[in-house]
Structures are given as structure tokens and as C-alpha cells.
Structure 1
Amino acid sequence: MATSTPTHERGSSIDRLVEADALARVRAGEASAYALLVREHGPMARRLAVLSGAGPDADDVVQEAFVKAYRALPRFRTGEPFRPWLLRIVVNETRNLRRGSSRRAGREERDAIDGARVVEPPGDPAEAAVAAERRSRLLAAVRRLPEPSREVVVCRYLMELTEAETATALDLPAGTVKSRLSRALGHLREELADD
């Protein structure tokens, strides 16, 4: 008797088989099955939209991304994971939004990055203060990265996507993600070397 391995994606509670079934039902005309995908992937899609610069328009970006994904489902490859494909649409919609309102989006992005979860060690208040200062410096340095580098760092480390998911979400080759991450991390290390 074969043992089954979990088919959950990292950071996703939906089983890949359940997701595939929902996608098949949507393609067969059962539009209500799409609600499962929206409920499952909506929070991460919104978080990515905010971290990518959509700010207060994140809900609109996510809604538009889900509508576009729904319309594009006939072109979606059966068997591929839905989440990275959807996140690519979210990133593209956010880029479209940012073209029209870059100043406001930049301010909201800074706020979102500042609010990103970074585990802080419990214990000594002095250590907590030092950790908070380091976190602040790190997030400020991430904000100063050029947009292409910032996007891969946000997806990979703040959104906790795998390199493959990051490549799919940003519509980049895996090698480009790796090289941008390497350069961005080197730049961050250099900038924060005295920390």
C-alpha cells in the first residue's frame, strides 16, 4: 500500500487535488467553484498587491486580477499550480496601477514594507530595541533597492514564495530571479555591513 504525500503548497492550505478539481468545475461552467480559489488565494494576492505598491487600491487590484484570471482560465495550463499564475496577474495589475500613480503607491509600499512581519526575539528589552532598529534599517534598505530587485526580495522573503513561485509571479526566468536575489542581498549586506 503506497503512502500519500501531502500535496499542499508551501504557504497554502488548499490541497492541489482540491484546487485542480475546483479549476475543472469552473472550466465546466460551475462559476461558484471559483469562490474556493478566491477565498484561498485572496489574502495572499492582496498582501502581494500591497507590498508591490498598490496601497489602498490593493482590493481593486486583486478584484481585477481575479476577474482577469477567471476570463483567462481557458488558457491556463491544466496541472500547473494556480497561485503563482494568479500572483503574476496581481503583479502585472499592480504595475499598471503604479504607472498611473507612482508617488502615492510608493508611499503605501513603504508603509506595507514597514508593516511586514519580521520575527523579533523575545526577552531583553535592550535586545528588542536593537532588533527593532535593525529591522527598521533593513526595511529602509529594501525600500531603496531598484524596483526589479525590490520585487524579487519582497516576493521571496516578505511573501515567503519559493524561487520558482517568485519567477512565475514576476514572469521572470528562474535564473533571473536567482541573479537579482544575489545582487540584492549583496547590496543589502554591503549597505548594512556596519550593523
Structure 2
Amino acid sequence: MVLILSGVEPKSGRRCIKGVSTREGTLEGGRSVVDEQAVIARVRAGEPEAYAELVRAHTQVALRAAVAFGAGADAEDVVQSAFLKAYQGLGRFREGAAFRPWLLRIVVNETRNTVRSAGRLRALADREALLLGPEPLIPESADPAVAAVREERREQLIAALDELSEEQRQVVAHRYLLELDEAETAEALGWPRGTVKSRLSRALAKLGRSIGATGGEEHE
């Protein structure tokens, strides 16, 4: 999967980014090992091509966020637009802050604008794709009975997520589907950390009750 950022004009007007490919960057423990502050400093100093390092490191999570909030087939376009806006907004980026939650906030806003302008709601297929991840958790050769159980549990989870409020779905998606920590989730959503903690607690309790109730009925 390749997205191209081309013709991005830095504030200096002297140089532009050409052919920046958005591929997943090097990860360590599931997180980027790019020195974000150093990269941002290089871009601000007149080296716009350095931005490609941030693009490569954060493309996968940006795509997951776009899909999670309903971008569907437009996910790549949404992510490309978000990276462009993030690049253009680096002058407003707070020094020392984490780039990942700031970028995801832009991605989510871009996704909402895209969905709103198209008049579409988030598709069930998109949510399923996000929950399953980029690769199947159970190979095709696995025991069909095991696969059937997995499918059943996935449907239960999707149904349970639909019962949450919008705020609860957002905090669950950011903490677990996008794998942000509590502080990053608070920054991405623009909420106090206490709000993140309380809404997450209520969301998980509700999910537990919904899934537990469904499972209990099946085993009676």
C-alpha cells in the first residue's frame, strides 16, 4: 500500500516534497522508533524531505484510525490529506509534544469531514476490517470449529461496540484499536486524562456486561 505526497510546498517556498511514500516504518514493540523531535526540527530548518520518516512511521496507525471512524474506501485519500495538513501545520506543532496523537486528531477530523460531505455513516465492513487487523488471527487451515467460534465472538464484539455512546467508542478505539496510551488518548481526543479514564472504565464495563450476557445465554 503506497500513498504519495507530492508537490508539498514548505513555508520557506524554497523546496518541496517529491514522491514521499507512506509505508510502515521501523517499529519496536509496536511503536515507532523515529526520533520525531529531531525530524520535525530538520523539516523546520528547511529539510522537508525528512518528513518522509514521520510518514513511513505513522501510516499504518493513521489508516487504522481512518477506517475505524468510517472512511471506508476513502481511507487512503483521508490519510494523505491528513499528512499534508500535518506537514503544513508543523509551525503550530507544540515543541516536545508527541506527533502520533496530534496526527491522529487530524486524521479523525479529516475522516469526519469526508463522511459528513458524502452523507455516509460508518460501514459495518470497515469496523470488521479494523477489528480483524491487517492479517487474519486464525489461518485458513485452522479447525473450522475454531474459526466459527472466532466469527461468533467478532460479531458479539461489533454488536457490543454499537451499544456504546460515541464518546465511549472513541476512547475504546484510541486506547485499544489504535494502541495509544492514556496520555496520548487524552491529547488525541482533546480530553482531560480523568475524562479518558472514567469514560474508558464505563465503556469497558458496558462491553463486559454486553458480551458476558450474550455468552451466558449461549451456554445455558
Is the TM value for this pair above 0.5? yes
Bigger mean CA deviation after superposition, 82-91 or 138-147: 138-147
> Is 1:117 matched up with 2:132?
yes
Letter in 2 for 1:90: V
Q: Shift in Å at residue 128 of structure 1? A: 4.2
Larger proportion of helix: 1
Match of 1:20 in 2: 37
Matched residue, 1:95: 112
Question: What is the match of residue 147 of structure 1?
Answer: 166
Q: Contact (CA 8 Å) 1:113, 1:143: kept in 2 or not?
A: no
CA distance 1:176–1:78, shift in 2 (3 Å): same
Q: Does 1:184 align with 2:203?
A: yes
Q: Aligned-residue CA RMSD in angstroms?
A: 2.4
Q: 1:141 to 1:178 in 2, by over 3 A?
A: same
8 Å CA contact 1:91, 1:170 repeated in 2: no
Aligned to 2:57: 40
Maintained 8 Å contact 1:150/1:184: yes
Q: Which amino acid aligns with 1:155?
A: H
SS in structure 1 at match of 2:61:
helix
TM-score, with structure 2 as normaliser: 0.74
State yes or no: 1:70 paired with 2:70. no
State how far apart, in whole Å, the 2-side matches of 1:170 and 1:151 are. 8
CA distance in 2, matches of 1:61, 1:9: 26
What amino acid sits opposite 1:150 in the alignment? R
Q: Give the drift of 1:129.
A: 2.6
Partners of 1:46 and 1:111 in 2: how far apart?
A: 15
Q: Pick 1 or 2: higher relative contact order, CA cutoff 8 A, min separation 6.
A: 1
Q: Gaps spanning 5+ residues in structure 2: where?
A: 1-26, 216-220
Structure 1 position 54 matched with structure 2 position 88: no
Mapped to 1, the partners of 2:132 and 2:125 lie a distance apart of 12
Shift of 1:113: 1.9
The amino acid across from 1:114 in the alignment is: E
**CA displacement, residues 149-192 of structure 1 (integer Å, 9 cap, x when unaligned):** 11111111112221222222222221121122112112212222
Percentage of identical aligned residues: 55
TM-aligned CA deviation for residue 29 of structure 1:
1.3
> 8 Å contact 1:120–1:132 — kept in the other structure?
no
Does 137-146 or 125-134 show the bigger shift?
Answer: 125-134
Structure 1 distance, partners of 2:102, 2:151, is 35
TM-score (norm 1): 0.82
Which segments of 5 or more consecutive residues in structure 1 lack a partner in the other structure? 1-7
> Is the 8 Å Cα contact of residues 153 and 181 (structure 1) preserved in structure 2?
yes
161-170 or 45-54, larger mean C-alpha shift? 161-170
